[in-house]
Structure 1
Amino acid sequence: MYADSQNDITRQVVRVAQLLLAYGADSELVEEISQRLGLALGLGSVELSISSNSLVLTSLVHGRCITTTRRIREHGINMTIVCELQRICLLTEKGLYGLSEVRKRVNRIEPRSYPKRFLVPMIGLSCASFCHLFGGDITAILLTFIASSVGMLVRLFIAKHHVNLLVNFAITAFITVAIAQLGYHIDITATPKLPMAASVLMLVPGFPMINAISDMVKGHLNVGIARWGHATLLTMASVVGITMAMQLGGLL
């Protein structure tokens, strides 16, 4: 293999690893896909070192090593992109894709999200369903739906302006709870606590916590601890927003 070919393949493999990490794949999957893709494209071996915000990849072909480093910038969880990168790897292993086709497919990948008009009511419906499961009456369920829907709108609006995620969670939690606690101030429901509990469940960072535990169990302690710390900070930001709303409403 020519040096230029090894360079090109290494750049493409590290780009795939970078995208996998940026969109929420766990470290074990990133290592597996990177190694399989590199071998399928003709590399002798692929070694990957992952940290909380960067990765280092080394490719080896006939005793010649190339090492490259990339910075990781999180773009939010998007399993569609992770699945598409896995699909590209599988088709490359089957011999259907070469380097040029892999490059073309990866460059075409763009994150897609659900339209706001569908996402907001579905989030409201999911939180309202939790309120129902907790034993809330119909008014509490309706209040939960309104509070969580408005909160999701606020969250999307703030995210659109690229505000720090911790600030986003704190403001969203504040507004959501401020609306949900109306059940205490207006005698409209017999279960006023439940809307306050159910409406903020959309802010629970479940996926980051699952990834953090998965990384730590599989031996990627540094990345797992970093992800756990980030998820904990998001939870604390939500708690700050909830506490401020309850103090403002005289519930604390």
Structure 2
Amino acid sequence: MYADTQNDITRQVVRVAQLLLAYGAESELVEEISQRLGHALGIASVEISISSNSLVLTSLVHGRCITTTRRTREHGINMTIICELQRICLLTEKGLYGINEVRKRVSRIEPRTYPKRYLVPMIGLSCASFCHLFGGDLAACMITFLASSIGMFVRLSIAKHHFNLLLNFAVTAFVTSMIAQVGYQFSLTETPKLPMAASVLMLVPGFPMINSISDMVKGHLNVGISRWGHATLLTVSSVIGITVAMQLGGLFL
């Protein structure tokens, strides 16, 4: 294998690993896909080291090593991209894709999200469903739907302007909790506590926490602790927003 070819393959493998990390894949999957893709493209050995905000990848062919480092930045959870990268790896292993096709497919990958006009009411409906499961009456479910829908709209609007994620969660939790308090303020429901609890469930960072535990269990302590810390900060930010809203609403005696 020529040096230029090894360089090209290494760049594509590390790009795939970078995308997997950025869009929420667990560390074990990143290692597995990187090694399988490298082997399928003709690399004898692929070694990868993952940290909280970077990765180092080394490829070995006929005793010649190439090492490259990439910085990783979170772009949110997007399983569509992760599945597409796995599909590229599988088709490469079957011999259907070569390096040129892999490069072309990876360069075309773009995150796709649901339109806001569909996402906002569905989030509201899901939180209202939780309220119903918790035993809330019809009025409580309606309040939950309204509060969580507006909260999700605020969250998406803030994210569109690329504000800090911690600030986003705090402001969203504050707005959502302020609206959910109407059941207390105007005695609209027999279960006024449930909208307060159910409407902010959209802010629970469940996926990052699951990934962090998975990473730590599988030996990736640094990445796991980093993800756990980030998820904890998001939770604390949400709690701050909820606490301020409850304080302004006079719910703390």
Which bracket does the TM-score occupy, shorter chain normalised?
over 0.9
Instruction: Give, as a single letter, the amino acid of the residue that structure 1 aligns with 2:39.
Output: L
Aligned to 2:36: 36
- 2:99 equivalent to 1:99: yes
Q: Tell me the CA shift for residue 140 of structure 1.
A: 0.2
Runs ≥4 in structure 1, deviation > 2 angstroms?
A: none
The whole-number CA distance in structure 1 between the counterparts of 2:124 and 2:140 is 12
Instruction: Give, as a single letter, the amino acid of the residue that structure 2 aligns with 1:113.
Output: T
Q: Which runs of 5+ in 1 are unaligned?
A: none
The whole-number CA distance in structure 2 between the counterparts of 1:187 and 1:29 is 50
Query: Counterpart of 1:105 in 2: which secondary structure?
Result: helix
Note the 1:42-57 alignment, pairs <5 A. 42-57=42-57
Instruction: Give, as a single letter, the amino acid of the residue that structure 1 aligns with 2:85.
Output: L
Aligned to 2:11: 11
Q: Deviations over 1:117-167 (max 9, x none)?
A: 110000000000000000000000000000000000000000000000000
Q: Which runs of 5+ in 2 are unaligned?
A: none
- 2:218 equivalent to 1:218: yes
Q: Aligned residues, how many?
A: 252
Aligned to 2:168: 168
Query: Counterpart of 1:70 in 2: which secondary structure?
Result: strand
Note the 1:1-252 alignment, pairs <5 A. 1-252=1-252
The whole-number CA distance in structure 1 between the counterparts of 2:125 and 2:203 is 15
Instruction: Give, as a single letter, the amino acid of the residue that structure 2 aligns with 1:238.
Output: S
Query: Counterpart of 2:14 in 1: which secondary structure?
Result: helix
Q: Aligned residues: percent identity?
A: 84
Q: Tell me the CA shift for residue 187 of structure 1.
A: 1.5
Q: CA RMSD in A?
A: 0.3
Q: Tell me the CA shift for residue 27 of structure 1.
A: 0.1
